[in-house]
Amino acid sequence: MTADDFQRTDDRFRNLSSVSGSRVSPAAFDTPFDRTGTGSSKWARAAVAEAIPMGLADMDLPGPPAVAEALERRARHRAYGYTVCDPTGRALVADWYRARHGAEVDPDWVLLLPCGPRTTLRLLLETVRKDAEHPRAPVLFPTPEWGGFAQLCRAAGLPYRELPLRLGPDGYRSPNGPFPGRAAAVLLSSPHNPSGTVWPTDHLRGLAGWAAEAGALLVSDEVHGDLTHPGASHPVAVTAVEPAMRRHVVTLNSVGKTFNCSGIPSTFALVPDPGLRARLTDTMAGYGLWEGGLLEQTVQRAALTEGGPWLDALLSHLAAARTRLTDRLGPAVRSTPRASYLLWLDAAALGLPPATARAALLERCGLEASDGAEFGPAGAGSLRLNYALPTPVLDTVLERLDRL
Ligand SMILES: Cc1ncc(COP(=O)(O)O)c(C=O)c1O
């Protein structure tokens, strides 16, 4: 533990530990999961009655029992005032990386943010811009890419440039460098949203090197990184690069996507550079954000200490669902996903008119996808389908796809 004052803690704060008895029923993902009355954004937005919403990236699957139990237990104590950060949460993150990825993360690198990955990205970009020798240097990111990167840059008034990904016979390949001129940051979703591509370690290292040459921070957004399917392995950017390169790299992750609890915003940022950690903490404080939110810590601790068996069961379920869909959709799948629960499809290969594919899929099949145009110009003519569904719903999806 460093003496940085943002890591100050209250040793009396030890009330979040010891959740017990996590049980995972293998049938949990084979039973319809009714989200009615929970305010689900995905279902509230569903345009047409009877349509199956397969857009927004959360799962129509029940989360880990351990998280529910920890929330119930914590809620029973009616102290809901301001909280401080329990520093053992950092060690839990490091333990998680060692156990799940064989990656050695120093607990001192870990910042536990009480906000979602999107907000964390915005805070990081703001910090980087303040730091930059060239504050007008652009933010770079590969496309197609989940719409958040472009949206965040526009909202922050930051210039950005898209780097088109090359699509080969084996799927997407990361962009070539070196990058012309200076850059403020390079953003990468790793694994890739929308295609579920797991970037190989050498691609990541290449990107980190080119980012450093351009004076940029590589921000590896790894919120889908714990969702790599059985047999695939995900390189954690801050540990995959050479030690000398680490101060130019940040990894972002969250239990939100992994354990399907994005409604309780949280992120953990792995920031090896202590100066950048301190500056990011200052930026957070400017928005009234400090490490150690009440619900965020409760959920994170339960998920990381007890969520492993649930996650393993989930990953088997997702891999089986992926195989059923990719077998059915064949060449329309632009790149076979090796992580997460998103399928990136070529609308024309599905027999849909590329410009109006989302509406056509909804009308013909009652399936609501995300429109590829939301993923940057490189996404035009594509659709993204979220297949984190209970088995009976996936059966219905496959039947409906016969109407194509
Ligand atoms: C790669 C990636 N990063 C960040 C986010 C943003 O997450 P949130 O909106 O929970 O902050 C998402 C959401 O889909 C995502 O897929």
* Cα-to-centroid distance, 345 and ligand 1 (Å): 20
259 in the same domain as 118: yes
Block residue for tokens 């088997």: 316
Q: What is the residue with the minimal CA distance to atom 2 of ligand 1?
A: 223
Residue 167 has pLDDT above 50, yes or no: yes
Pocket test residue of 143, 193, 253, 386 for ligand 1, highest count of atoms within 8 A of CB: 193
276 in the same domain as 248: yes
pLDDT given at position 272: 98
Helix (H) or strand (E) holding 59: none
Residue 14 has pLDDT above 80, yes or no: no
Residue 321 near residue 389 (C-beta atoms within 8 A) = yes
pLDDT given at position 13: 29
122 CB less than 6 Å from ligand 1?
A: no
Q: What is the residue with the minimal CA distance to atom 1 of ligand 1?
A: 189
Biggest alpha carbon–alpha carbon distance for the chain: 62
Task: Please compute the mean of the pLDDT values over residues 165-183 and round it to a whole number.
Answer: 89
113 CB less than 6 Å from ligand 1?
A: no
Q: Give Cα 316 to chain centroid, integer Å.
A: 19
pLDDT given at position 19: 28
Residue 74 has pLDDT above 50, yes or no: yes
DSSP 8-state class, residue 77: S
Task: Please compute the mean of the pLDDT values over residues 146-152 and round it to a whole number.
Answer: 95
Summary mean pLDDT of the chain: 92
- Tens of pLDDT, residue by residue over 372-387, are 999 999 999 999 999 9
CA distance 343 to 383: 8
DSSP 8-state class, residue 241: S
pTM of the model: 0.93
54 in the same domain as 176: no
351 in the same domain as 363: yes
For the chain, give percent helix, strand, coil, nearest 5: 45, 15, 40
CA distance 395 to 397: 5
In a domain, 83, yes or no: no
In a domain, 5, yes or no: no
Count of structural domains, the chain: 2
pLDDT given at position 48: 80
Task: Please compute the mean of the pLDDT values over residues 144-153 and round it to a whole number.
Answer: 96
227 in the same domain as 117: yes
Residue scoring higher pLDDT (377 or 2): 377
Domain end position, chosen among 306, 326, 359: 306
Residue 179 near residue 214 (C-beta atoms within 8 A) = yes
Q: Which of the four pLDDT bands, split at 50, 70 and 90, describes residue 10?
A: very low
In a domain, 11, yes or no: no
Token pair, residue 133, equals 């020798």
In a domain, 1, yes or no: no
Residue 102, Ramachandran bin (φ over 0: left; ψ between -120 and 50: alpha; else beta): left
373 in the same domain as 233: no
Token pair, residue 164, equals 């088109």
In a domain, 101, yes or no: yes
pLDDT given at position 24: 66
257 in the same domain as 326: no
Residue 3 has pLDDT above 70, yes or no: no
pLDDT given at position 198: 97
Helix (H) or strand (E) holding 125: helix 117-131
CA distance 151 to 230: 33
CA distance 37 to 94: 37
In percent, how much of the chain has pLDDT > 70? 93
Task: Please compute the mean of the pLDDT values over residues 54-79 and round it to a whole number.
Answer: 97
pLDDT given at position 26: 61
Residue 97 near residue 268 (C-beta atoms within 8 A) = no
CA distance 170 to 347: 19
135-152 in b/e burial notation, b at 16+ Cβ within 10 A?
Answer: eebbbbbbbbbbbbbbeb
- What Å distances lie between residue 124 and 87, 284, 379, CA to CA? 22, 9, 26
Q: Give Cα 287 to chain centroid, integer Å.
A: 23
Pocket test residue of 118, 145, 219, 300 for ligand 1, highest count of atoms within 8 A of CB: 118
Residue 2 has pLDDT above 90, yes or no: no
Residue 147 near residue 379 (C-beta atoms within 8 A) = no
Instruction: Provide the β-strand partners of residue 250.
Output: 219
Residue 8 has pLDDT above 50, yes or no: no
- Tens of pLDDT, residue by residue over 178-236, are 998 999 999 999 999 999 999 999 999 999 999 999 999 999 999 999 999 999 999 99
- Tens of pLDDT, residue by residue over 242-266, are 999 999 999 999 999 999 999 999 9
Atom of ligand 1 nearest to the CA of 115: 11
263 in the same domain as 341: no
In a domain, 70, yes or no: no
| Domain harbouring 103, CATH code | 3.40.640.10
331 in the same domain as 225: no
Domain end position, chosen among 261, 282, 306: 306
In a domain, 35, yes or no: no
Task: Please compute the mean of the pLDDT values over residues 310-327 and round it to a whole number.
Answer: 97
Could you give the angle at the alpha carbon of 364 between the alpha carbons of 363 and 365, nearest 5°?
A: 100
340 CB less than 6 Å from ligand 1?
A: no
290 in the same domain as 151: yes
257 in the same domain as 145: yes
CA distance 24 to 36: 23
Q: Which of the four pLDDT bands, split at 50, 70 and 90, describes residue 287?
A: very high
Alpha helices in 161-293 (DSSP H): 201-213, 237-240, 255-258, 274-286
Range of the domain at 172: 88-306
- Tens of pLDDT, residue by residue over 93-120, are 999 999 999 999 999 999 999 999 999 9
Residue 7 has pLDDT above 70, yes or no: no
Alpha helices in 268-307 (DSSP H): 274-286, 294-306
Domain end position, chosen among 256, 287, 306: 306
Task: Please compute the mean of the pLDDT values over residues 325-352 and round it to a whole number.
Answer: 97
192 in the same domain as 143: yes
Residue scoring higher pLDDT (201 or 169): 201
Block residue for tokens 């397969």: 54
- Tens of pLDDT, residue by residue over 31-54, are 999 999 999 999 988 878 899 999
In a domain, 44, yes or no: yes
Phi, psi (degrees; rounded to nearest 5) at 224:
-100, 5
Task: Please compute the mean of the pLDDT values over residues 358-364 and round it to a whole number.
Answer: 97
